[in-house]
């Protein structure tokens, strides 16, 4: 080859390198983790700070990259056509098209983008200084394209961005867990925190029938017996009945008064907070923190006691079950050998849906309420029904309440 041909070959090689640079930079800035980059920038990394500032002007950045990439690719094609025409005569344009298409695809597009995808932050930081120079050089073209974009936005009006939804945020957490950035426990904590604001007091209360309470006329012996039997450190105090709760007694205050020989517990009664079933749990938590209380009475539409919510109930929605040395560990779902499950009537109905991958709708929140709704009468031990591919048998009943059911998936042939 003569000297001009060698010069054109070197120019093509340089242009392909620039094409690879622009392709890798585009992928790096579109895939980078801004939080990770911000962490490095806060740690004093100047290149990370520069890459972060460039990513904040992503539209102008992308326009610069695309303009530069198209310029070098078109120029490479043009120079290649001239070079191969000098070398191959009439077949030059055809040879140039085939060779440069393959070379640009492999070395200018696919390979650099694949490499940049593996470590986008590193590529973004490495390319940021040179990219800043291209932003200055291509500013006039960027200005023209920005005006064109404004014209298009006027002609084709688009909806305003709604931000990140709760479902999208949960999906991001799941992706972070799958990629190894979060472990299972951390992702569960984040999901609980995201959905925490959707919970209401009625979703987490201890139902009225399970409340251990004392009368304001009870003797110290009776109160001590209830403390010992229930294992609770606080007990609500009622006047006439459970619908008239007037306060709460702490075990420490009670035994301190009893030690001093006081037979009247009125001096030990602390105030209690009243709330509605549809009160959001996060609001209730802030109220209890402000009032320095640990218990709230959930009142139904008729003014009666629907249940109790404690500070521990609220915290368990964030961090999971909290067991102490006096708690009796309850296993709501016990797998059996034949694929069936013994399920407590107090278990959350949504957990049953998740266990069997069912999308059901029911007004009840517990398995016990769900069974009553399906039977349309008070349940008895031995009652059985089928629902959504599940065979359900009531195994234990206490008065009018379901304590336990046996649930078994029904094979499709049997259905």
Q: Looking at residue 250, what is its pLDDT?
A: 92
Chain segment 339-395, per-residue pLDDT in tens? 888 988 888 888 888 888 877 777 777 888 888 888 888 888 888 888 888 888 999
> Among all chains, which residue has been given the structure tokens 């390319």?
127
Q: Looking at residue 325, what is its pLDDT?
A: 54
Residues facing 32 on adjacent strands: none
Q: Looking at residue 297, what is its pLDDT?
A: 92
Range(s) for CATH 3.30.465.10 in the chain? 333-409
Report the alpha-carbon distance of residue 246 to residue 271 in Å, rounded: 7
CA-to-CA dists, residue 256 to 177, 222, 259, angstroms: 50, 16, 5
Closest CA to 210 of 193, 224, 230, 239: 230
Task: State the Cα angle at 366 between 204 and 397, rounded to 5°.
Answer: 125
pLDDT value at 71 more than 70: yes
Range(s) for CATH 3.10.580.10 in the chain? 206-319
What is the pLDDT confidence band of residue 308, given thresholds at 50, 70 and 90?
A: very high
Contact 306, 298 (CB under 8 A): yes
pLDDT value at 1 more than 70: no
Phi and psi at 384, nearest 5°, equal: -145, 145
Q: What is the dihedral of CA 95, 99, 105, 107, to 10 degrees?
A: -160
Lowest mean pLDDT among 62-76, 171-185, 296-310, 331-345: 171-185
Q: Looking at residue 327, what is its pLDDT?
A: 54
Lowest mean pLDDT among 178-192, 231-245, 255-269: 178-192
Task: Give, in words, the CATH class of 206-319.
Answer: alpha beta
Contact 295, 311 (CB under 8 A): yes
pLDDT value at 155 more than 90: no
Q: What is the mean pLDDT of residues 83-88?
A: 83
HEC assignment per residue over the chain: CCHHHHHHHHHHHHHHHHHHHHHHHHHHHHHCCHHHHHHHHHCCCHHHHHHHHHHCCHHHHHHHHHHHHHHHHHHHHHHHHHHHHHHHHHHHHHHHHHHHHHHHHHHHHHHHHHHHHHCHHHHHHHHHHHHHHHHHHCHHHHHHHHHHHHHHHHHCCCCCCCCCCHHHHHHHHHHHHHCCCCCHHHHHHHHHHHHHHHCEHHHHCEEHHHCCCEECCCCHHHHHHHHHHHCCCEEEEECCCCCCEEEEEEHHHHHHHHHCCCCCCHHHEECCEEECCCCEHHHHHHHHHHHCCCEEEEECCCCCEEEEEEHHHHHHHHHCCCCCCCCCCCCCEEECCCCCEEEECCCEHHHHHHHCCCCCCCCCCEHHHHHHHHHCCCCCCCCEEEECCEEEEEEEEECCEEEEEEEEECCCCCC
Q: Looking at residue 159, what is its pLDDT?
A: 58
Contact 343, 367 (CB under 8 A): yes
| Average pLDDT taken over every residue of the chain | 84
Q: Looking at residue 158, what is its pLDDT?
A: 60
Closest CA to 334 of 258, 405, 243, 260: 405
For 311-322, b/e burial (b = at least 16 CB within 10 A) is: bebbeebeeeee
Contact 265, 256 (CB under 8 A): no
Chain segment 103-153, per-residue pLDDT in tens? 888 988 899 888 888 888 888 888 888 888 888 888 888 788 778 777 777
Annotation: CATH topology of 333-409: 3.30.465
Chain segment 33-65, per-residue pLDDT in tens? 888 888 888 888 888 888 888 888 888 888 888
Q: What pTM does this model have?
A: 0.54
Q: Looking at residue 86, what is its pLDDT?
A: 81
CA-to-CA dists, residue 344 to 330, 389, 400, angstroms: 9, 19, 15
Contact 295, 308 (CB under 8 A): yes
């Amino acid at each position: 080859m003569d000297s001009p041909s060698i010069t054109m070959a070197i120019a093509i090689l340089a242009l392909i390198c620039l094409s690879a640079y622009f392709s890798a930079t585009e992928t790096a800035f579109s895939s980078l983790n801004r939080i990770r980059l911000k962490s490095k920038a806060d740690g004093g990394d100047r290149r990370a700070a520069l890459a972060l500032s460039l990513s904040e002007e992503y539209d102008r950045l992308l326009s610069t990259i695309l303009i530069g990439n198209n310029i070098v690719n078109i120029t490479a094609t043009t120079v290649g056509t001239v070079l191969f025409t000098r070398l191959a005569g009439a077949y030059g344009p055809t040879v140039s098209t085939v060779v440069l298409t393959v070379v640009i695809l492999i070395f200018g597009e696919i390979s650099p983008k694949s490499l940049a995808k593996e470590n986008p932050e590193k590529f973004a930081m490495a390319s940021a200084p040179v990219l800043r120079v291209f932003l200055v050089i291509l500013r006039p073209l960027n200005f023209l394209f920005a005006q064109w974009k404004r014209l298009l936005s006027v002609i084709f009006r688009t909806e305003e961005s709604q931000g990140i939804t709760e479902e999208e945020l949960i999906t991001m957490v799941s992706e972070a867990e799958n990629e190894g950035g979060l472990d299972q426990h951390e992702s569960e904590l984040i999901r609980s925190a995201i959905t925490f604001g959707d919970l209401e007091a009625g979703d987490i209360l201890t139902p009225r029938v399970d409340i251990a309470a004392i009368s304001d006329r009870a003797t110290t012996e009776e109160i001590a017996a209830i403390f010992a039997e229930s294992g609770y450190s606080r007990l609500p105090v009622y006047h006439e009945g459970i619908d008239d709760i007037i306060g709460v007694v702490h075990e420490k205050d009670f035994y301190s008064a009893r030690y001093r020989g006081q037979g009247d517990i009125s001096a030990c009664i602390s105030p209690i907070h009243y709330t509605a079933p549809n009160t959001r749990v996060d609001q209730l938590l802030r109220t209890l923190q402000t009032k320095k209380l640990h218990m709230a009475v959930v009142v139904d539409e008729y003014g009666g006691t629907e249940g109790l919510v404690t500070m521990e109930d609220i915290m368990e929605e964030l961090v999971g079950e909290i067991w102490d040395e006096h708690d009796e560990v309850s296993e709501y779902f016990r797998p059996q050998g034949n694929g069936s499950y013994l399920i407590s009537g107090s278990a959350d109905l949504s957990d049953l849906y998740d266990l069997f991958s069912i999308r059901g709708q029911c007004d009840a929140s517990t398995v016990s309420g769900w069974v009553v709704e399906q039977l349309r009468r008070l349940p008895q031990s031995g009652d059985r029904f089928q629902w959504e591919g599940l065979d359900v048998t009531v195994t234990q009943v206490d008065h009018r309440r379901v304590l336990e059911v046996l649930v078994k998936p029904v094979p499709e042939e049997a259905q």
